[in-house]
Amino acid sequence: MSPRAIGPVSVTTGDVLIALAFLAFLGALAYPTVRVRAFRSLVEDVSSEVETMRSAAAGVFSRDGRWPDAGAPSAIPSELAGAFSGDSTLARDAYTLQWSRWEVVDYLPPPRASTPTPTDADAPPDSVGPRLVAVIRDVGAIVVHSGNDALLAALLARHGPAVSFVRDTTWTLTVEAPGGTSGG
């Protein structure tokens, strides 16, 4: 093809193709950076909402002595409604939040009594080991439902496996009672 004159400069189709190839190359270089920034922003958004829910639930616990009632995925429990500005749902494009409540049973040794406790010889023959007392406590939990495995892994890494876990397409953060007490 013959060059076209645009003012004092002439541009060929080859020149345009080279310019487009160069722009595509720059876009390909920038894409991973943009994608990483978008992912970090997503993790920050989820973490912010998780912290908002944790804080609001802890406030309910401090005020009422119990965790808010569990809610369905994406539904804001009535006790937490004021914590999320203008939103009536917790469903987002990449994830859905949910508040949950569990009863956890801890088996603890009985408190030391001032009177002597029976010895192992006094224990019934079918018992094994020390006697334990079942203590039931309420634990709150924030659940993030997402098909994005990288998001769930990032949340697990951020909060740690001591208080959170991933199973299938959910990440769950357990929320202990403020001040180390348990609700009932």
Domain extents in the chain: 12-180
pLDDT at 16: 86
The answer to whether residue 154 scores a pLDDT higher than 90 is: yes
Specify the higher pLDDT residue, 43 or 78: 43
**pLDDT exceeding 70 applies to what percent of the chain?**
81
pLDDT at 88: 67
pLDDT at 106: 82
pLDDT at 127: 57
pLDDT at 149: 92
pLDDT at 138: 85
- Greatest mean pLDDT range, 88-102, 124-138, 147-161: 147-161
pTM: 0.67
As a whole number of angstroms, the distance between CA 75 and CA 72 comes to 5
How far from 22 is each of 10, 11, 34, CA to CA, in Å? Answer: 19, 16, 18
Least confident stretch, 35-39, 48-52, 104-108: 104-108
